[in-house]
A and B are shown apart, each in its own frame.
Chain A
Amino acid sequence: MFAPVLAELPALPLHEAGKYVAGAYIVLFVLVLIYFAIMAIRLSRIERELGELLELANQEPAEEDVAPREPTLA
């Protein structure tokens, strides 16, 4: 399907300057990739913290349920 379209496109002259152009574009790609990796680490930390907080929130009502009641006159 795309073969005729690709055949129409001009060939990229990658002989001399190709390595510099590729290098420049790869730099941007790698920087964005590093940024996303840092964001992924941060996200996993937030996820872990939220898990801990959820565990804590679930524990509190359960502890209240099993706590001995104050003796009453009734």
Chain B
Amino acid sequence: MYGKGLRALSIATVAAFAVAFGLVFFYAPLDAEQGFLQKIFYLHVPLAIIALCGFVIGGLLAIQHLRTRDSRWDMRSYVAIHMSLIFAVATLITGSIWAKGSWGHWWAWDEPTLVSFLIVFLLYATYQPLRFAIEDPERQSRYASVFAITAGAFVPMNFIAVRLSTAYLHPRVLGSTSNLPGSMGLTFVVCLIAMALLYATLYKYELTAKHTRSQVRALRRKLIGETGMAPRPRSAAPTLHPTSTPATSTAAGASR
């Protein structure tokens, strides 16, 4: 069952966020340069890190899909990228709000971190239209996996390229130049854990919903028969094999 452990995960997420927000607003000291505005970083940076990690995970899951031809791995890769896109939108919005407060304008085109993140976001924004453009489910999943692997490899390369660039206008929170005091570092780590838990919870919710929907369709097919079924509308979402259950480890797509 995809839904197994979802309740515990949800509770852990809420608890982690309660602790994280408590630390952000009542424990972490104010930044000497940015003051209260720096509190955005406890939200913005974990969002960005989790979004980028999600993209890479999506690529790793896509490798597993190409190795096994199991549609469940394609679904996992799809959901990981889908969730990361939502996190990336939140990263861009919170980053823009911080830029407005700090620099006085919403965006800076000469800032490599911002532009590179936007490039990654726009790259992944083409993932769903790519899937939607391919009608055959088999081809759709295969091409989408190739895309997810290629784009997933691009993410760390892009990150390293930005790190190596000479412009350091964007504040560095982690790395060799970091000078975060202990209380700020602890708050940041707790926020990162909370954000990772939120990602995991939403990922599990989405997978459970998609699996339940495919099970309902399978049940309808069994009760009504193929002739009574309306044709499945064209969709960017992967098609799960009716017998694809997390309990069974056999490759559902192996017979294709």
Contact = CB atoms under 8 A, between A and B. Distances in A.
Interface of A: 9-10, 12-14, 16-18, 20-21, 23-25, 27-28, 31-32, 35, 39, 42-43, 46, 49-50, 53, 56-57, 60
A35 B100 CA distance: 26
Contacts of A39: 205, 209
Q: Chain A interface secondary structure, helix, strand, loop or mixed?
A: helix
Interface of B: 25-26, 30, 34-37, 39-40, 43-44, 47, 86, 89-90, 93-94, 97-98, 100-101, 198, 202, 205, 209, 212-213, 216, 219-220, 223-224
Q: Chain B interface secondary structure, helix, strand, loop or mixed?
A: helix
A50 B216 contact: yes
Given A28-B43, A32-B198, A53-B220, A20 B97 contact: yes
Given A20-B97, A32-B198, A12 B89 contact: no
A18 B36 contact: yes
Contacts of B44: 24
Given A17-B36, A53-B219, A27 B205 contact: no
Contacts of A20: 37, 40, 97-98, 100-101
Given A46-B212, A49-B220, 19 more contacts: A9-B26, A12-B25, A13-B30, A13-B35, A16-B36, A17-B39, A18-B36, A20-B97, A20-B98, A21-B39, A21-B101, A24-B94, A25-B43, A27-B94, A28-B94, A39-B205, A46-B209, A46-B213, A53-B220
